[in-house]
Amino acid sequence: MYFEKLLSLENDDWLWSFSLDDEIPLWLNIRVAVFWDLQKEEFSLSDPHLKEDKKALEIVRYILISLLKNPCRIKKNKIVIFGAGINNVRENGQYINKLYDLYIENDKRFQLIESSAKNKYLRPRKYNNVFYSDIFLILAKIFSYFTVLKAKDYKRIMLMVDYMVNKKLIKDDDKKLWRKRIMNICKKNIVLNILYRRFLMVKNIKALIIEDAHYGGNSVLIKLAKEHNIPVIEMQHGYIGQGHLAYNYNREQYELLKKYLPDAFLTFGGYWASRIRTPAKILNIGNAYLESKALVEISNEKDILLIISGGTMPELYVELSKLLSSIYKNKYKLLFRPHPSERPNLKERYSIISEYGFEIDISNLYETLPKVKLIISYELSTVLYEALLFTDKVFLINNESVSQYIYEKLPFKIVSSIQDIAIIDEKEMNKDFKINDIWEHDAILNFKKYFDKIVGQNI
């Protein structure tokens, strides 16, 4: 497995030894980006995260809301959630954060602080007690221009970049790019250290839930929280597995990493818990939003064939839509769902698929899934697992890239071609898998019990 080769490179104390005065390993801040670059080149993948041009009025609105709803205005003594705005879905004209809202809407102990979705706030919100974290990053970026690193810091960074070249983690031609990138991260972290330290002290935070806490980019906030004896928790927000770049660390480094990774990781179910490598304590909670949707009666009119994109193989999906159209255009309604981060450039990537009879679906996924008969992807995605609650016709098309993630049997059908899909009529879900293992029941109750235990019922 290619990822295992990458992971073995981390079994290197010297690689982890490069740090500045905050003692946070520089490698932790960049490992996902470095590994992703290597994987993109190895498997000829595209970047799913596309930039979106903003109009002047949109930028002004973004800055204004960032100021008016900044985290300094929250009340003291809260369990604070640093969540992501991209988790918002639209229902009846309002946005709901599908990862957090159902857990906290009637619990005054919690305060949600969201990041924007590509510098845009998804409003109006149904649960409107929301503040926004972007102001921290805006200030960090501004003040980083006036932050000067020490001479020893520059030297340390240059030594690390040279070492990464020697280990073949980056190319020699990219040394200048990575030096600048790491220097910018270090300057930003110096500013964030000041901002977060004051925020944690003034607001007397009782516990922190941090999205993407395993990715390394939140290491400053996590380190400060632990220094103040504040429990740090991350909740599963999407697909994780033994080949996921962010949720698998070399076990030889666990003792070091405990200082900079969350104390606990709350998963959707036992299936996921056994498929990651982290020093965090793992607890199976469930998925409250999906659970609420699965309780709704499933439509008897299941007439949709849905293609799911993970954003890294646009050319293959265009080809797939053409082939599937030739087989199914008179049998199913054909929908294509892009990765959320692909939406800024949908026309450039996928305009041609309309000629094959496919419609682009960017509506609430959970209103679409109950009507889906067939769901197909080239990439491992949480959506494939979610779809198992609504249909047993779930297919993953094997390919060179996805094969590195298939460590063991999966709960849906792996096929080598669309011809295989066309001839399979049997029930596709493997009988060895139980839905309860993938999706723990009573998610809200499990969530409440956990936080009652670590902070108490009244704070």
Same domain, 429 and 447: no
Q: What confidence score (pLDDT) does residue 431 get?
A: 59
Strands of 57-140 (E only): list them.
Answer: 79-84, 88-91, 94-97, 110-115, 130-132
422 vs 213, higher pLDDT: 213
Same domain, 272 and 303: no
Rounded distance, CA 453 to CA 183, Å?
Answer: 41
3-state secondary structure of 115: strand
Strands of 150-218 (E only): list them.
Answer: 207-210
Same domain, 95 and 182: yes
Same domain, 318 and 213: no
Q: What confidence score (pLDDT) does residue 322 get?
A: 95
Short-list 412, 392, 391, CA closest to 402:
412
How many other CB atoms are there within 10 angstroms of residue 210's CB atom?
21
Single-letter residue type at 179: R
Is pLDDT of 152 > 80? yes
Q: If you average pLDDT over every residue of the chain, what do you get?
A: 93
Same domain, 217 and 269: yes
Asked if 99 and 87 touch (Cβ cutoff 8 Å), the reply is yes
CATH number for the domain that contains residue 385: 3.40.50.12580
Same domain, 59 and 109: yes
Short-list 457, 391, 458, CA closest to 428:
391
Short-list 267, 273, 270, CA closest to 287:
267
Same domain, 167 and 252: yes
Same domain, 106 and 187: yes
Same domain, 101 and 249: yes
Is pLDDT of 281 > 60? yes
Is pLDDT of 432 > 80? no
Per DSSP, what are the bridge partners of residue 414? 396
Q: Please compute the mean of the pLDDT values over residues 229-234 and round it to a whole number.
A: 98
Range of the domain at 207: 1-287+440-459
430 falls in which pLDDT band (50, 70, 90)? Answer: low
Rounded distance, CA 257 to CA 251, Å?
Answer: 10
H-helix or E-strand spanning residue 375: strand 372-377
Same domain, 34 and 135: yes
1 falls in which pLDDT band (50, 70, 90)? Answer: confident
Q: What confidence score (pLDDT) does residue 53 get?
A: 80
Q: What confidence score (pLDDT) does residue 360 get?
A: 96
Rounded distance, CA 273 to CA 447, Å?
Answer: 16
Same domain, 454 and 387: no
- Residues with Cβ within 8 Å of residue 260, at least 6 apart in sequence: 24, 25, 28, 216, 219, 222, 223
Q: What confidence score (pLDDT) does residue 409 get?
A: 78
297 falls in which pLDDT band (50, 70, 90)? Answer: low
3-state secondary structure of 318: helix
pLDDT digits (tens, 9 = 90+) for 115-145: 999 999 999 999 999 999 999 999 999 999 9
Phi-psi region of 296 (alpha: psi -120 to 50; beta: other; left: phi over 0): beta
User: Domains in the chain: how many in total?
Assistant: 2
pLDDT digits (tens, 9 = 90+) for 15-51: 999 999 999 999 999 999 999 999 999 999 998 888 8
Q: With b meaning 16 or more CB within 10 Å and e meaning fewer, what string describes 363-382?
A: eebbebbbbbbbbbbbbbbb
How many other CB atoms are there within 10 angstroms of residue 459's CB atom?
15
Is pLDDT of 114 > 60? yes
Is pLDDT of 157 > 70? yes
Q: Find the farthest-apart pair of alpha carbons in the chain and give their distance in angstroms, rounded.
A: 68
65 falls in which pLDDT band (50, 70, 90)? Answer: very high
295 vs 133, higher pLDDT: 133
pLDDT digits (tens, 9 = 90+) for 395-428: 999 988 887 766 667 888 888 887 777 766 444 5
Same domain, 378 and 451: no
H-helix or E-strand spanning residue 182: helix 175-203
Answer whether 0.75 is exceeded by the pTM: yes
Short-list 140, 218, 167, 212, CA closest to 15:
167
345 falls in which pLDDT band (50, 70, 90)? Answer: confident
